[in-house]
Structure formats: C-alpha cells, structure tokens
Structure 1
Amino acid sequence: MLPSIALTLLGLLVIPNASAKVTIRKTGRAPTGYEVDFEYTNTTARRVLIGGGIQPFTDQFHTTGTSFRLNGRYDPHDYQPGDFYVSNPSPQLPAEPAYKWPYEMKKSDKGVWTYTTPLPSGIYSFAYLVNCDYAPNCSSVDTGQLVIDPDLPPFMNVPGDQVASSFQVPFDAQFQASPELNTNFDYALDAPDPGKNRGTVRTVNYTSPGSLHPAPDVHDFAIYLPAEYSRREPGVKRKYPLLYLSHGAGGNGADWENLGRMSHIMDNLIRLGLIPPTVVVTPSFYNLDNSSGLAEPLFIYGNKSNNVPVPPAAHVRENFEKYLFPYVESNYDVCQNSSCRAFAGLSMGGVLTYEMFVNATDKFDYFGMFSPATSGLSGYIAASDVAANPSLLRKGIMIAYGLYDFVLPAARDLQTALDGLEIRYINRVTPFGSHYWNTWQDELWWFGVKVLWKEVPTGVRTGRN
C-alpha cells in the first residue's frame, strides 16, 4: 500500500515507495510488432491517465499539419505502416468523451493500474495524471496531479527541471515498413557493446555570475563524452570535436537527453563511422541572470506560467561567450578552433544558432538550425553583412524542419534570405515531422550524417559520399 503522504519537489508530485514499470515487448504480430505495457500502483487513486508525448497517429494523406480536428487521429491499435504522430498547436481540444488522449489506465482490485498499447518505432515521453477528469487541465505541475514514473526518472540536473520520462520503441520491418515513408528511428536505440560504443552523459554546474538557477551565480549544462574519451591511456591528450546543442522555448539543457536521446544518437553516429568521437554540450539559456527583472529563478517546467519570456538571442550569445565557452574549453579536452566546433539548436534554439552564425561566425564552422522559429526576427542579414564578414560564405549549414511544422513558413523565409546572398546550406524537410521530438531526432541524425565535420562550405557535393 502506498503511503498517504506525498513529497512535493518544486511543485512536482513524487510519491515515495511508489511502484511502476514500463515494458517494451516484441510480439511478432500486427499492428506494429511491439507492445508497451504500463503498470503503476496507487491504491487510493480513482482515475489514472497516461499523459505526455504519446500522440494520436495520422498519415500523409489525412494530415493538415495545423489542426488536430482534420488529422487522421488514429488509435495506435489501428496503426498501419506509414502512420506517424504529430504535435500540433491546436487552439481548442474537444471536451471528453470525444477527447480520448492521453490513454486511460484500468485498475485491479489490488490498486495496480495497467495499460497496454502497440506503438511503432519512435521516442515517447509520458507522465501519469492522477485523479484527472480532463487531461489538458492536469498537465501542469501546479495541479499536483502530474506524477513522474518513479522507476523511470527523467534525466535532469535539479528535481523539477523535467516532468516526463521517456522510452524508445524499436522498428519492426515486417509490420512497420512502408513504401511511402521511412519511420525507422532505431538510430536512437542503445548502441550495442556498451563498453565499446556507449558514451556517458551527465549534468555540470559552472560559475556564471548573475545566474539564478540552480543556485546564485551558478548555471548548468549537460555534457556527452564519447566512449573513447574515458578510455584514453593516461597522459594521452586529444582534442575532441565539440558540438553545442540548444533546447527550445520552455525547455532546458536536459531536454536533448531526456526527450531526444541525444547520447544514443551520437553513440550510433560514432559507432558507424559517420562522425569522429565528438563531445556534445547542451546548455540552458534560461535563468542566466535577472536581466528580465526577475528576482527568482524560472522553473520552466515547474513554474505557474507557461508563457516564460525567451531571453534575447544576442544576450544569450554574449553570456555563453563570456562564461560557458571558456569553462568548457578549460575543463574538457575539446577543440578550440572553428574547424571542429559546431552550434545547433531546435526552435528558439534554432534562432540562437542563427545568432551564433551571424555574430559568432568565427567560433564555429558548422551550424544546424532545426525548426528555427525565426518569424520574430526583425530581419535577416544583408549583402553588406556578407561583404563585411565573408566567412559567412564558408560554413557548413543545415536548415531543417518538419513537413507539418508550424515554423515551416518562417524557415522558408530564412532560406530565401540565404539564397539571395548565395549562402549555401543543406535543407532537410522531415516528411513525417511536426514541431516535436521525432522531428528533432531525425534532424540531429541527418546533421551528423550529412554536415557535421564534413568539407566546408556546404555545397552540392556535401553529404554525397
């Protein structure tokens, strides 16, 4: 029996001694070849839903990219090869019972809540919604109804920084292969032979004067060190290529590992010889200081407001140049010249990447703008900027977004601006992609395959071999 007293950390409900389990089973049968079993023990709850990133499914022929109402909205029990999920900014969701997502668990006589569903290849995030009558009203930690799976805690630096666990489902070619669409995300699974192929990822706190979180004058980032990094012989020094990878609005530096399985993607890129062993730093661009007039830190996932202002990209860049970049270069064996340094990011992190490209051009030779939310920019660089800074023409650049991504128009405008200046780049349009993590996993993978540490400037031969 569960204790009657719950522990609240930063507004996040964590139940001591709770029992939970997620099992991914290969079934060898339709519809996907895999099933996922959720099991959660709570003897006092009257209702438990599975919330988070397990979206309804759709297909290429019944998807608008802008409205859930007009999408296929298939239950995964009705999955067909080529189906995929999208996350859309639908302004209104119909009230229950028409609104069937997330999934509702069933309770046994012993207080064990269970749910089983088939799922195709991909990343899925989730949390349990306890005593919730309408899921969208319970998805904030303020309600006290959002419970993290106690046996599958998220990757995070400080409790409360993340409010969802995640898991990855493999691909089954027998049941999931489609001539219309490749939705195989196995590049984000655990790499085989752990001792040889799996790097390590952890969070790091560093001195950053003025920072509000996780402590006064202390900020944080997550770092991935490739497997080779820790296996070096004593005294052997090597400078490893360095990728900075930014989260988006409302996120933090742990997102890429917790929700995107960044370390798994990097392990597999390195294991397959697609890139050399590379160090990855995923910083946080919130809580750098109180320049917004804030006396208290913004707990992006745990605060009471979902409309947290994003710091200006120029301000973040200046802060990173002053504190983050020197710390990383002083404490890790990483490259310190532009030819083996890269910056990439998703959504508002894509805007930060654009800022780095324009105003920190000589620090990086590679830039990945994933779903760049550039619609808020007052303008793009002009011919005079290129004349003053010709190195803008000598970079490895990827601009990527999903076919059903709401930033698609803005990203195309960015491309048009670069086209007008004859700045070369590679473009990836994720065919199943919305503004969500399956898209950004895809974009990180192809950034590694086609652009990262390849010949610059980006040209028509880039990625061909």
Structure 2
Amino acid sequence: MKKQLFLLALVLVVSLPILAQEALFNAQQLISPEIHEDKTVTFRLFAPDADLVEVTGDFLPTVKVETPRGPMDGPGKAKLTKDENGVWSLTTSTLDPELYNYAFLVDGFKATDPNNPFLIRDVATATNIFIVGGAHADLFMTNDIPHGSVTRRWYDSPGLGMDRRITIYTPPGYEKSAETYPVLYLLHGAGGDEEAWINLGRTAQILDNLIAQGKAKPMIVVMPNGNVIQDGAPGEGSKNFYKPTFMVPKTMDGTYEGAFEDIISFVENNYRVKADKSNRAIAGLSMGGYHTLHISRYYPNTFDYIGLFSAAIMPREDATGKVYSNFDETLQTQMDNGYELYWIAIGKTDFLYDANTEFRAKLDEMNMPYEYVESEGGHTWRNWRVYLSQFAPQLFQ
C-alpha cells in the first residue's frame, strides 16, 4: 500500500509541473512589442513559412477606410523584415506617449501577437495593446498609488423588465470610509457595453491617477450597458457567447433614456453617495453622448455636469418617443434650471464634427452656456480617454 501511495505521489509530482507548463508548449520565445528607452518599439513574429508579414495599428499614419458610416480614418500598415531564423521584425520611429493598439497581417490574414497576452475587445474585434509612457499616457498606466475598486453588479430595472449588469468604480478608501461621494455616470458608444469604458477607456487607471495627484475629487463612476435588449455584455449576460454587433435594436429610440432613473435609484440605494444635482455628472461618447444629451434634457434638474464626447447628434427616424418630444422646450428648461458645466469635445476630423457644429449653433442662438474643446484626430478611443482625463478634474469642485 505504501509503495502504491509513493508511486501515486511520484506521478503527481512529475505530471503537475507538466500540466502547469502546458501553456508554454509551442510558445514563441520572443519579446514583442519591445518598448525601448528612446520610445521606439520593436515588433517580432516567428512565421518562417509566411511570404509577407505586416503590422497595422494606430501608431501608424491613418488612411481612409470605407465603413458602414462612410469614409473614416483607419490605421495604416507597415512591412516587417524576415531574418534567417524565420523571425519577422520592425522597429518604429520614436512614438509619442499614448496607449496604442495593433495587430499583425500574415499573408493578408489578420492575427493577434502570440507574444503579447494583453488585448482589448472593441465590438467584435480583439487587438493587442501597449503603452508608451510619458505625458498624458502616464494616466493610463497602473502606478504605485492608492487604487479604487471595480465591481460588476446586477441591478433590477423595472423600466426594462430585467436584471442588468453594470460596472462601478469606487475611489480609493471607499470600503473603509464612512464618507459620501459624488457620482459620474459614464456612457459608452455604439457597439460598446458595460465593459467598454473600464477596458478601452482605462477609467480606473485615469481616476486613480487623477485622484492621487489631487487633480480630481474622489468620485464613484457608474458605467451602464446602453443596449437595452441586453442584460449584460456579450459573453457576460444570459445569452452567453455570441458575436457582438455594432448596433443592436432599440439603442437610440428613447427606451434607455426613459429607464435611466432605474440606474440612479440603484446607485443611490446601494452606495454612499451625495444624492443631489450638484453631485451628479453624466457624460458619454458617440452614442453615449447622444444618450447624455437626451437624459440630461429629459431629467432637466438632475445633473449639474454634462459631457458630450464626440456626441452622435443627428436626427433619427426612430427618435419619435416621449423622450425626444419638445426638444427645444426641455433644453430651455435645462438651461433655466442652471448647471455648473456643459462640456462639448470633438476631434477636427470626426465624422460627427458638422453635427456638433450645428448643435453648438443652436446653443449659441439660445445663449445656452457651454465649454468647447476641439482636438486633433477623429472618432477614436485615443480622444475619448483624453476627454475623460480633461473632464473629470472639472467635476464637483
């Protein structure tokens, strides 16, 4: 019996390390991307049988790409060079501080970097990421500072008839404190969900860093799912795994805006918050900017801080419900009630630039106060992360 136990123990001792190392079988022992001290970056890929390897990403000059929304700026591509060992490589010129995404093109087939486990999902596309530090990009990094917490909660939405998943950031020290906090409701764009801002937008890192630097007040950030037919993000809700799509039904027909009080009610009943207008902010990008515009107008005495990031301000055929009625009158009421900040930001080459210009002309005609930021670039997360880092320090001061 002792001999059998000894043999079993020996088998376990030998086999467990093998199982633990299973993920390393056939792994490429390369460093990619390698970020150098001079802020150049080297990409490497072992593909001895490939005829052509390219890299595409937003660190390269943009090119015009045809999309369902018309021509838009997209990432360019660059060729890698193959050595005698079958390793393809490319070293960039010096890159500006930024969070970048990229993918490889191997004989035209798009693939992620097998040597870089860090990826983000944007709608149905997964790409690798890396950060070149310095300047504003340091806000996107996890630094040695106090950290907040990120939780995924489920809340009851009577207005939508289901329990729904929501992502909530609480600032450093929240769990051990008895303090109450202001709240920023942060809304995603089309194709996004409750994972978008926390993953693509680096919300936790940005808030942690701004709070640690004394540039932003400690606040709770609530990131809901704006797709009202979903109870949670693809892969996280009751439909489990399926391919995410860019636009799902009912996202911009007033249903979400009309049921938004369910989210506010959940937050104010479950978190230590300052439940008044002066301690509520709402902001969103693209479709989330559209939602922000209409939620803040439909509930005109609810938010003192409003942020439109590349907002999708455009007429829609399905925008016929109660939420969208009396637009001018409710906007006037919102202005008459007063607010601390109405903040609009957009890139110069954004496909929504003209629509935002027209909306600002309406506000000017009404003498409705707002602050306007115009940046370089287009409809990209690169801009929206910066907008959040500019908007958050102005809240609750």
Counterpart pick for 1:117 among 80, 88, 92:
92
Counterpart pick for 2:278 among 339, 352, 361:
339
- Give the C-alpha shift of residue 424 in structure 1: 1.2
2:16 corresponding residue in structure 1: none
d(CA) in 2 for partners of 1:325 and 1:343? 11
- Give the C-alpha shift of residue 311 in structure 1: 1.0
- Which stretch shifts more, 342-351 or 354-363? 354-363
Greater strand content: 2
Q: Which has the larger radius of gyration?
A: 2
- Give the C-alpha shift of residue 352 in structure 1: 0.6
In structure 2, relative to structure 1, the CA distance for the partners of 1:310 and 1:41 (3 Å cut) is farther
User: Which digits, 9 at most, give the CA deviation of each residue in 1:91-129, with x for residues without a partner?
Assistant: 399xxxxx9932334455655443321321222122344
Q: Does 1:199 align with 2:148?
A: yes
Superposed counterparts of 1:136-215, under 5 Å: 145-147=110-112, 151-154=116-119, 163-171=126-134, 184-190=135-141, 192-194=143-145, 196=146, 198-207=147-156
2:78 corresponding residue in structure 1: 103
CA RMSD of aligned residues (A): 4.0
1:91 corresponding residue in structure 2: 71
In structure 2, relative to structure 1, the CA distance for the partners of 1:146 and 1:237 (3 Å cut) is same
CA contact under 8 A between 2:309 and 2:384: conserved in structure 1? yes
Q: Does 1:440 align with 2:390?
A: no
1:53 corresponding residue in structure 2: 58
- Give the C-alpha shift of residue 289 in structure 1: 4.8
Q: Does 1:126 align with 2:102?
A: yes
- TM value normalised by structure 1: 0.65
CA contact under 8 A between 1:161 and 1:299: conserved in structure 2? no
In structure 2, relative to structure 1, the CA distance for the partners of 1:170 and 1:420 (3 Å cut) is same
2:178 corresponding residue in structure 1: 237
1:462 corresponding residue in structure 2: none
**Which protein, 1 or 2, shows the higher relative CO under an 8 Å CA cutoff with sep ≥ 6?**
1
d(CA) in 1 for partners of 2:285 and 2:357? 15
Q: Percent identity?
A: 28
Give 5+ residue unaligned stretches, structure 1: 1-13, 28-33, 58-66, 70-86, 94-98, 139-144, 172-183, 291-295, 455-465
- Give the C-alpha shift of residue 453 in structure 1: 1.4
- TM value normalised by structure 2: 0.75
Counterpart pick for 1:38 among 22, 43, 49:
43
d(CA) in 1 for partners of 2:119 and 2:149? 15
CA contact under 8 A between 1:210 and 1:288: conserved in structure 2? no
2:5 corresponding residue in structure 1: none
2:369 corresponding residue in structure 1: 424
Q: Which amino acid aligns with 2:259?
A: N
Q: Which amino acid aligns with 2:59?
A: I
2:164 corresponding residue in structure 1: 219
2:255 corresponding residue in structure 1: 315
CA contact under 8 A between 1:166 and 1:259: conserved in structure 2? no
Q: Does 1:358 align with 2:316?
A: no
CA contact under 8 A between 1:393 and 1:423: conserved in structure 2? no
Counterpart pick for 1:251 among 192, 205, 209:
192
d(CA) in 2 for partners of 1:168 and 1:310? 36
Give 5+ residue unaligned stretches, structure 2: 1-22, 232-237
